[in-house]
Amino acid sequence: MDGDFEDQLATGEAVDVSGWDFSWLDGHATEERPEWGYARLLAGRLAKASASLDIQTGGGEVLAEAAAFPPTAVATESWPPNVERATRLLHPRGVVVVASPDEPPLPFADEAFDLVTSRHPATLWWSEIARVLRHGGTYFAQHVGPSSGFELIEFLLGPQPDARRARHPDDEAAAARDAGLKIVDLRTARLRIEFFDVAGVVYLLRKLIWWVPGFTVERYRDRLRDLHDLIQADGPFVAHSTRHLIEARRP
């Protein structure tokens, strides 16, 4: 049992966590997907745009699923391993990848794009999104919602009541309106996550660094041990994620 636990920790620590391809989790964890199919909807909008910007593109994997891009297509990313990964994936498709911090200002002129997109941005600067959008342009994105993964987060950290409201879709919609945008569509989903082993947990916490800031295996070894024992006794550890699809237009 202890050997199995240690092997799982080592496995979760060793795997590459760059990019936004989560396929390594197959066999370690599962997560439901929203019914709306963001990548498919994104592809349809990209096909009709003239100039697009994808903010915080990660490794570019979701953007690269699109069959066609507008004549001007740009993506931003801040983390160097993801910038390299996205460049390799997107440059051959005609998408320019710009290394840019996840804070204002965006390195683009006013009204540069008729479509701005993002999947799971870590930070949101609505005034900058509105600034770079043309009049009549659209922001289309899938955001992480409130309390995502909190069953796991609170298993490790204890209760986090003050953090549960963060990323609420109503608050984000209000902030978008304050920046001068009009909300066209807002949909929400609550989705089931199952962890089958602590290797998957370690991998995810190394990748989603904002879930448990400062996470290391050594720092949380005791709680990981408790989680391993719980999974061995009761089966998969269940958590839930929340997502919202948001579409906003600059009048």
At residue 225, what is the residue type? Answer: R
Expressed as residue numbers, the domain containing 191 is 2-249
- What b/e sequence results for 16-46 when a residue is b if at least 16 CB atoms lie within 10 Å of its CB, and e otherwise? ebbbbebebbeebbebeebeeebeebbbebb
Which amino acid is it at 25?
A: L
- Residue 130, Cβ neighbours under 10 Å: how many? 20
User: Residues 74, 54: contact at Cβ < 8 Å?
Assistant: yes
136 three-state secondary structure: strand
Range scoring the smallest mean pLDDT among 1-10, 45-54, 61-70, 184-193: 1-10
Distance of CA 214 to the CA centre of its chain: 18
Q: What are phi and psi of 212, to 5 degrees?
A: -130, 85
Q: Helix, strand or coil for residue 113?
A: strand
Residues 158-167 pLDDT 10s: 999 999 899 9
Per-residue confidence at 2, pLDDT binned at 50, 70, 90? low
- The reported pLDDT for the residue numbered 1 is 43
CA distance linking residue 82 with residue 95, whole number of Å = 15
> Hey, is 122 helix, strand or coil?
coil
Give the percent of the chain with pLDDT over 70: 99
The residue with tokens 């683009």 is 108
- Roughly what angle, to the nearest 10 degrees, separates helices 198-207 and 2-14? 30
Check which CATH number belongs to the domain holding 89 and give it: 3.40.50.150
Tens of pLDDT, residue by residue over 165-216, are: 999 999 999 999 999 999 999 999 999 999 999 999 999 999 999 999 999 9
Number of domains in the chain: 1
